[in-house]
Amino acid sequence: MLTYPEFDPVAFSIGPVKVHWYGLMYVAGFVAAWWLARRRAAAPRSTWKPADVDDLIFFAAIGVILGGRLGWVLVYGFEGLRADPPSILRVWEGGMSFHGGLAGVMIAIALFARRRGRRIADVFDFTAPLPAVGLFAGRIGNFINGELWGAPTDLPWGMLVEGEVRHPSQLYEAALEGLVLFAALWWFTSKPRARLAPAGLFLTGYAAFRFAVEFVRLPDAHLGYLAFGWLTMGQLLSLPMLAAGLAMLAWSVKRREPSGNYA
């Protein structure tokens, strides 16, 4: 058994302004994604330029923040919003939905692709490894905030939280949806792949990992289990992602279209 260290969610203060670790994790995720995307853009035969990456990350950041917050409020925090409408702006307190963020990013990427005359599928493929970096950082932020704990456990790495030993499900997700998924996608995209194969692998991998971890992660108290005594909202939202990812992979294998990300 491990004891949760009870982190201070505020990293530092500048006068009356408090800078939270959760917000810093998002900044770290965006900076890392920008740096990695620039490295990939500099690869031989790449059709991307550094300026393209700068604009892409800007579009993606707006999509993640708006989509992630709106998605969480609509699915998980609508009752809290009714009681306290300004809470929608307090993103530093936590409350960001990956599925909402993904929808926001997809819209932002579509707008970027249209402005730059690129195929949307190619931009999805180029960005496929990047969300995993932000997922890792975000789950570490959840751990620091002391939120999204798992179910009670007697495993030796369980965390003692408020008198009960629980699965550190935030760390499970950081490892699987973050480190493992990033490593697999970064390796997979290190050479040209057929169109939509990287994007399909990302959706399939994330959905499978998220679905698995939800078995030991407690659902939101006001939602509970949706069916069968185990189905959570996170699992329900992951099923369309899994279906879409598998469909993309099947389409990619069948069509074998070359990626537009390489000359």
User: For the segment 236-263, what is each residue's pLDDT rounded down to a tens digit?
Assistant: 989 999 999 999 999 999 999 999 999 8
The answer as to whether 150 is a domain residue is yes
Is 71 among the domain residues?
A: yes
261 domain-assigned: no
The answer to whether residue 263 is domain-embedded is no
Within 10 Å of residue 90's Cβ, how many Cβ atoms? 12
Answering whether pTM is above 0.85, one says yes
Rounded Cα–Cα distance for residues 175 and 134 (Å): 12
Whether 260 is in a domain gets the answer no
Per-residue DSSP letters for 153-191?
A: --STT-EEETTEEE--HHHHHIIIIIIIHHHHHHHHTTS
Q: Tens digit of pLDDT per residue, the chain (263 long)?
A: 899 988 998 988 888 888 889 889 989 999 999 999 999 999 989 999 988 999 999 999 998 888 887 777 776 665 655 666 665 565 555 567 777 888 888 999 999 999 999 999 999 999 999 999 999 999 999 999 998 899 999 999 999 998 899 999 999 999 999 999 999 999 999 999 999 999 999 999 999 999 999 999 988 777 788 888 889 988 998 999 999 999 999 999 999 999 999 98
Alpha carbon separation from 218 to 45, 103, 151, 232, 257 (Å, rounded): 46, 24, 5, 9, 42
Tell me if 208 is assigned to some domain.
Answer: yes
Summarize pLDDT for 57-96 with one digit per residue, the tens.
999 999 888 888 777 777 666 565 566 666 556 555 556 7
Amino acid at 39: R
For the chain, the maximum distance between any two Cα atoms, rounded to a whole number of angstroms, is 59
Return the C-alpha torsion angle 197, 206, 132, 78, nearest 10.
Answer: 130
> Which two tokens mark 221?
């108290």
For 33-61, b where at least 16 C-beta lie within 10 A, e where not — what string?
Answer: bbebbbebbeeeebebeeebbeebbebbb
pLDDT at 68: 80
H or E element in which residue 103 lies: helix 98-116
Q: How many domains does the chain have?
A: 1
User: Where in the sequence is the domain holding 13, given as residue range(s)?
Assistant: 2-255
Q: Is residue 184 part of a domain?
A: yes
